[in-house]
Homo-oligomer: A and B are copies of this chain.
């Protein structure tokens, strides 16, 4: 059986508990980015972005290296694999309740679709011509 390093899991799950940090990781899936690149979409100061990146670094999810005068960040995915391994040990508890999960995800998809499309409420139903 795989032994989990509890301090790794503490740090990884803590790093993942923030939406900005998750979005930064998502961004790094496209390739490496500078700290200021990572800060831009969040309208965030370099200091603020750097703080988040430090949390990701200390969880072992991001590696930072200096290129000329720029700090570049790179995704390190191995610790995410450890987190997934930990979650996998619970699989038998949710596979028996897949119907519940499907319903949750379907509700969420619907909510996301509605939010994205900002559907106008139909005031007059067009008549069916056929």
Contacts and interface: CB of A to CB of B under 8 A. Distances in A.
B90 A78 contact: no
A9 interface: yes
Interface range for A: 35 or more
A104 B88 contact: no
Nearest to A97: B78
Interface string A83-127: 111111011011001001100110011011100000000000000
A14 interface: yes
A75 interface: yes
Given A2-B105, A3-B108, A87 B84 contact: yes
Interface string A14-46: 101111001001000100000000000000000
Nearest to A61: B90
A109 B2 contact: yes
A77 B90 contact: yes
19 contacts: A2-B105, A3-B108, A3-B113, A9-B17, A10-B18, A10-B19, A11-B17, A13-B13, A13-B17, A25-B90, A29-B93, A75-B93, A78-B94, A80-B87, A80-B94, A82-B101, A82-B105, A84-B88, A85-B105
